[in-house]
Chain A
Amino acid sequence: MFIQIKNLKKKFNDSFAVNGINFEIDKDRTLGLLGPNGCGKTTSIGMILGLIKPTSGEIIIDNKNLDTFKRDEILARINFASPYIELPKKLTVRQNLEVYSRLYGIKNRKERIDEISEDLNISDFFERKTGELSSGQKNRVSLAKSLINKPEILLLDEPTASLDPDIGDFVRSYIQNYRSKNKVTILLASHNMAEVERLCDSIIMMKNGKIIDRGTCKQIIDKHGRNNLEETFLKLARSKSEF
């Protein structure tokens, strides 16, 4: 197993945001993390990124415990994209990518920046300030930053939220193609069920800080007797029991 999460818990004040979750992701596979708002997805991602210290439990990445291994050595192999975080608005796209390529210790910076810019069609606004870009353009720049180090592990938090269907489809296709050409393990948190069905090999459903179901999309849809993942999500999110 490339990523192992063992009995992970996070308590804020008196309540558990994440309450004893266990899951594993095989190398080069994509796992979807689903659940209603406040179910603990972002807290779980935060703990895997080393931004939040778990109350208890273990995060093991490639047989290295995140708590005891050198933080910067593990982070060099990971990256993250989310529409809820931004790159410095007053820097141009080129400047932002240059700064982050240096921070990630990329050796052939110019080649890598050119390559990723070409792939994501961001070369046209390369010299524009990031804050002046549209949501779709910012999203692609953010994705470029998250792939700058060719991460072995990519965490995506609602990567297509607030994008129009055309750009959303472009991003999903890009991730799909990138995954097929590169060895990358992806953890995708999303509320877009069609996106999850398209991109994920398997999913886990969270509610109230716990995992309430897991399997492939088809297995979960069949298990709950629904027609698609959206209907299954609604059934699980609205049910009072935690299965």
Chain B
Amino acid sequence: MNFNKVYALGLRHMYLISNSLPRIIDLIYWPTVQIFLWGFISKFFTLNSEYYSNTVGIILTAAILYDFLFRVSISFNMMFLEEIWSRNFTNLFIAPIKISEIVASLTFTAILRALIGMIPAAIIAIPLFGVSVFKLGMPLLFLLLALYLFGITLGLLVTSGLLRFGPSFENIAWASLFFLAPLGCIYYPIEILPNSLQIIAKGLPLVHIFEEMRSILISGNVNYFDIIKSISISIVYFILGVIIFYVSFLGAKVRGTLINMGE
């Protein structure tokens, strides 16, 4: 893998962001709105719910982590869509770059875009609501890693769909995360789900990540086995996502859609 080429692709997206103040504001605006919304809901629940009465900010922490997942996935999709919208697709795919370098670049740049939005939002939550996601301590890094891998996987699956079905798949890109949110048990324990859905939910890393987050915040116990399990599941999905992306790319070459991909 040539990291200069990975950097070049990342640079293209960083230029895009740095050239446009509205784009920077857009990256920060939505996570901040989320913090305000869930901050007030969280404050209301902590005052009125027995379950959350001793654990201030559990919902807000969940919102911040979920938003990180959302931003990583959307960033990955957005960067791919940018190439389609700007009709740069052909130029990109005739350049001497490997598919692995394209995936690596999207993966690395997605986290930068996500952090541009998430860091200010997480910092704002501290003085505003007295909630710090950093209280999760070292496990926070592992939980973010699992979320990052799963977010990239969702991005890979959506971009595979874009390669397979063309730009008409764009709407699915926006909706993809909402399909999984109810099963992710982000704001509620897994016991809320019907038994049949619990089986499916346990196959997703989200349940393990958010259960562990609640466990740390409520009881202060860190279960590294569960954290490793969530990372392992995310890695399996990530590998699957990469394979599907390669298959979709080869399929697009057979169908000839790479040369005409545009708005």
Contacts and interface: CB of A to CB of B under 8 A. Distances in A.
Interface string A64-75: 000000011111
**Most central of B16, B94, B250, B254 by chain A CB within 10 Å:** B94
A5 interface: no
A98 B90 contact: no
Interface string B81-111: 0110011111101111110000000000000
A222 to B, nearest CB: 35
Contacts of B97: 72, 103
B17 to A, nearest CB: 10
A102 interface: yes
B240 interface: no
Interface string A117-130: 00000000000010
A2 interface: no
Interface string A49-77: 11111000000000000000001111110
A53 B87 contact: no
Contact of A88 (B12, B254, B258): B12
A100 interface: yes
A85 B254 CA distance: 20
Interface stretch (A89-97, A168-176, A213-221): A89-97
A75 B94 contact: yes
Contacts of A17: 256
Q: Place the interface of chain A in its size category.
A: 35 or more
Interface stretch (B3-11, B39-47, B137-145, B207-215): B3-11
Contact of B8 (A10, A86, A102): A102
A99 B256 contact: no
Nearest to B251: A53
A51 B2 contact: no
B259 interface: yes
A102 B7 contact: yes
B253 interface: yes
Contact of A103 (B9, B16, B19, B87): B9
A49 B253 contact: no
B20 interface: yes
Contacts of B95: 75, 100, 103-104
A46 interface: yes
A85 B91 contact: yes
Contacts, number: 106
Contacts of A103: 5, 8-9, 95-97
B16 A105 contact: no
A231 B64 CA distance: 68
B5 A87 contact: no
B15 interface: yes
Contact of B91 (A52, A73, A100): A100
Contact of A52 (B5, B82, B259): B259
Residue picked from B12, B83, B91, B259, most chain A C-beta under 10 Å: B91
A75 B87 contact: no
Nearest to A82: B90
B88 A88 contact: yes
Interface string B241-259: 0000000001001111011
A78 B94 contact: yes
Nearest to A129: B19
A145 B259 contact: no
A72 B98 contact: yes
B258 A99 contact: no
Nearest 8 A/B pairs, CB to CB? A102-B8, A76-B96, A75-B96, A72-B96, A53-B253, A46-B259, A85-B90, A86-B87
Interface of A: 10, 12, 17, 42-43, 46, 49-53, 71-76, 78-80, 82, 84-92, 95, 98-100, 102-105, 129, 145
Interface of B: 2, 4-5, 7-9, 11-12, 15-16, 19-20, 82-83, 86-91, 93-98, 250, 253-256, 258-259
20 contacts: A12-B255, A17-B256, A46-B258, A46-B259, A50-B253, A51-B258, A52-B253, A72-B96, A75-B96, A84-B87, A90-B20, A90-B86, A91-B12, A91-B15, A91-B16, A95-B19, A102-B7, A104-B96, A105-B4, A105-B5
